[in-house]
Amino acid sequence: MQINLMPDLSLLAVMVIFILEYFIVRRFFLKPINDVLESREAEARSAQETYEQSLSRFNEATNRIEQRLHEAKRDPAQLRDKFRSEAGVHRQSLVERTTAEARKLIMEAEQRLSRDVKEARDKIVRDAESLARLAAERILGRPL
């Protein structure tokens, strides 16, 4: 038995059928699948980019809002501290003024009291002298 190594026409027919089959499979099966895969990949890429852009905008907006919130919290705290210090100064001046007025009133009352005491002592001395003279006149029975 001898093997014929020379190609015959059937080999050529198989090769032509294989090449035709390759073009048909590539054209009607592989190309649509590759197109779908590429479009899905492009959609995924664009969705990822959109997500990253949205996340970036969200983070920027969040940072701006947090900054404004921090400023909004800081401003009332500064205002509150300012009002507290102003109230402390006002309270201190009010206490000093009230203390000064109280001291003035006390000094005036002490002066008035001293004057009244002096007048009362002078009156007691005069009254005592007149009562003593009156008592002496009654005891002696004659004017002095």
Convert the pLDDT of each residue in 55-111 to its tens digit. Answer: 999 999 999 999 999 888 888 888 888 889 999 999 999 999 999 999 999 999 999
pLDDT of residue 3 exceeding 80: no
pLDDT of 2 reads 74
Q: Domains in the chain: how many in total? A: 1
In a domain, 119, yes or no: no
Instruction: State the DSSP code for 3.
Output: -
In a domain, 137, yes or no: no
Mean per-residue pLDDT over the chain, rounded = 90
In a domain, 48, yes or no: yes
When pLDDT is averaged across residues 22-50 and rounded to a whole number, the result is 95
pLDDT of 99 reads 93
In a domain, 143, yes or no: no
Q: Which long-range contacts (CB under 8 A, 24 or more apart) does 120-126 make?
A: none
In a domain, 98, yes or no: yes
pTM above 0.85, yes or no: no
In a domain, 117, yes or no: no
Q: How far apart are CA 53 and CA 61, in angstroms?
A: 12
In a domain, 30, yes or no: yes
pLDDT of 15 reads 94
The token duo for 134 is 């009156």
Task: Give the end-to-end CA distance of the chain in Å, rounded to a whole number.
Answer: 194
pLDDT of 1 reads 64
The token duo for 84 is 């507290």
In a domain, 128, yes or no: no
Domain range for 37 is: 16-109
